[in-house]
Amino acid sequence: MRDRLAVFVQVTSVAAALFLSGSVSASAQAPDKIFFGNILTMVEDNLFAEAVAVTGDRIIGVGSIEEMRQLADDATEMIDLEGGTMLPGFIDTHGHMLGAGTREVLSVNLRPPPMGTMTKMDELVAALKERADANPDASLIQGSGYDDTLLEEMRHPNKNDLDRVSTTRPVVITHISGHLAAGNSKALEVAGVTADTPNPDGGRIVKDPDTGEPTGLMEGNARAIMNGLIPQPSLEESLAGLRKGSEMWAASGFTTATDQLREASLMDDVYKVGLESGDLFVRLEIWSRTTTMEKAKEFPTVISGTDLSDGRHMITQGPLKLQIDGSPQGYTAHFSQPYMTQRPQDDGSYKGFPYWDDLEAFRSFVKSLHRDGWQLTIHANGDQGIQDALDAIGAAQEAYPREDARHTIQHAQFTRSDQLDQMAALDVTACFFIGHTFYWGDRHKNVFFGKHRAEHMSPIRGAIDRGVRSTTHTDTPVTRIDGIQMIWSAVNRVSTGGDVIGADQRVTPLEAVKAITSEAAWQYHHEDLKGTIEPGKLADFVILSDDPLSVGHLDPMKIKDIKVLQTIIGGETVFSGVTESIVARHFRDNPIP
């Protein structure tokens, strides 16, 4: 009894001393686990530690090995990082986890290198036909991820191409941007699209200039015509998608993913079912997605960061998402100046288009949502789309002033310098799709926009310098979820061709890591739970093969070679293995001269 009392007194004495110094929680309970080795806490005034103590799903102590050992008892598991580096788990700030997972399960991969293999129209058609022949009872054939600018033919597939797959079943494929879709003749027939079908609000039905007949290609909001033909996944398929998505995010070091819901009922019907079945095993931030106040009111709360999983913090409410324009690589983003290379059907002045034909209705909707307390996250890529979004937020704040609203511009690809100033004045966060510098940098520079605009895309350096809080994302399934690629791209801004795209917008390795840890947690009101390794926070970690700060200091390009070794959520390992970044594979096969 005396021995137990002595241990208790020793543990509580050490705990009290460390608590006062901010390195341990007030709990006197001995830790279940102590991780020791190289630890990057992301707490800027205490960036490095030797050990982390965990009890249950929480961190109870951070400090030296000796300090943490004094908290342990005989049951505490000591875990050596064995040369790896522990960081807070990566936080996804924009993705579509269920859609990405079900796409992997149900859809034909039509992506080009480096994400896939498609380089010719015949290859695309052959892959779809193989799926069609192998599934004769399938009511529809679907594919995703094609990129017209990387096909040898340099054009979109049309109904004639897709009729080679099937003339009796609809064939529907989506562009890599997610903002265009194409269908065969049967898909057009089933959808009821003819030469007389008008364009929907914020969309374009592409028609042959000579005959007036639809080609099968749908731009912007018109893509919903084709996508609407795709059957909704069954519960079994959805759970398989959640499991596949969880595996993908965890293998890349992410402990929190994001997803977007158009129907509030899916929260209970799919996501909570998946949580209980174990198919959903990464934390999930749910974005509401609607264009009416009636549908917005169906969601459980307007308050971002609210736990929706009975205190487990596995499913939380995020912001409400709106779209004001489309994709730069899909020619649907809205700009104030014309695209550098016009499409064959353009007259030289094509600038893209807004996804709201009635901009006054958009501004009114933003104002109403802001008034009601929603955090808003607005998809805007082109500088005109970004301006429309910022003007709407500014008008909303003027009508209904709110502190700490944390409204966000998503993607923010072609934000001008004056718009960064406007973001700073409005306290708007910029969430950059930083992978554009890698995946599309060469084409943005040489095809779509020219050198000046391309080098200023994803201007994260300019944003940080102005005090605009900034994060990064991959918009998976548009590109692969890949935390190392995000860090590497923010630091280096190197394209697939080896060109530096905007050297003056590069950030430090520390800033790049913050963008997917501490800043990402703050963006969605989770800074008290995640993003740094501190007592009281969730025990969510990623273990990497090396320290990105040290590697980045010596040779920033070598950040790409860091591997994800382990992902831990709530103190439990959900991934263990070796995950290599796509940029490492790409440059191994395509060395920079």
pLDDT along the chain (593 residues), means of 10: 35 42 63 98 96 98 97 97 98 96 95 96 98 95 96 96 98 96 98 96 95 97 95 95 98 98 94 98 97 95 97 97 96 98 94 96 98 98 98 98 97 98 98 98 97 97 98 97 98 98 98 98 97 98 98 98 98 98 96 84
Q: What single-letter amino acid sits at 212? A: G
Closest CA to 525 of 462, 469, 574: 469
- CATH number of the domain bearing residue 550: 2.30.40.10
Pick from 227, 253, 278: which residue ends a domain? 227
User: Which pairs with CB-CB distance under 8 Å and at least 24 residues apart come from 124-133?
Assistant: 124/151, 124/157, 124/161, 124/173, 125/157, 125/161, 125/162, 125/164, 125/165, 128/162, 128/165, 128/171, 128/173, 129/164, 129/165, 129/166, 132/165, 132/166, 132/169, 132/171
- The pLDDT assigned to 593 comes to 75
Instruction: Report if residue 138 sits inside a domain.
Output: yes
Contact 237, 105 (CB under 8 A): yes
Tell me, yes or no, whether 202 and 128 share the same domain. Answer: yes
- Residues 6 or more apart whose CB falls under 8 angstroms from that of 290 comprise 262, 296, 320
Instruction: Give the closest residue to 461 by CA, choosing from 472, 448, 476.
Output: 472
| Rounded Cα–Cα distance for residues 299 and 304 (Å) | 12
In a domain, 405, yes or no: no
| Residue 571 lies inside a defined structural domain of this protein | yes
Tokens 């997610």 locate to 178
The answer on 84 and 139 residing in a single domain is no
- DSSP SS3 for 485: helix
Question: What's the CATH code of the domain at 181?
Answer: 3.10.310.70
| Residue 185 in domain | yes
pLDDT, position 29: 83
Q: What dihedral do alpha carbons 377, 413, 253, 499 form, nearest 10°?
A: 180
Q: How far apart are CA 182 and CA 223, in angstroms?
A: 8
Do 135 and 223 fall within a single domain?
yes
Give me the helix-helix angle, 383-399 and 417-426, nearest 10°: 20
Distance separating alpha carbons of residues 177 and 173, to the nearest angstrom? 12
Q: Would 173 be classed as within a structural domain? A: yes
Whether 562 maps to a domain, the answer reads: yes
Please state the length of the chain.
593
Ordered strands of the 108-109 beta sheet:
108-109, 141-146, 171-175, 180-183, 214-220, 203-207
Count how many domains the chain has. 2
Cα separation, 288 vs 271, in Å, equals 14
pLDDT of residue 33: 98
Alpha-carbon distance 225 to 219, whole Å?
10
Q: Does residue 166 sit in the same domain as residue 222? A: yes
Q: How far apart are CA 143 and CA 128, in angstroms?
A: 7
Question: Which of 210, 227, 244 is where one domain is finished?
Answer: 227
CA distance 193 to 554: 58
User: Are 132 and 219 found together in one domain?
Assistant: yes
Q: Which pTM was predicted?
A: 0.93
- Predicted local distance difference test score (pLDDT) of residue 2: 33
Q: Which of 202, 227, 252 is the last residue of a domain?
A: 227
Same domain for 218 and 169:
yes
In the block, residue with structure tokens 């991934």: 575
Question: Does residue 145 fall inside a structural domain?
Answer: yes
CA-to-CA distance for 341 and 344, rounded, in angstroms? Answer: 9
Any domain includes 495: no
Range of the domain at 542: 1-88+532-593
State the pLDDT at residue 516: 98
CA 396 to chain centre: 26
Asked if residue 123 and residue 34 are part of one domain, the reply reads no
Contact 93, 524 (CB under 8 A): yes
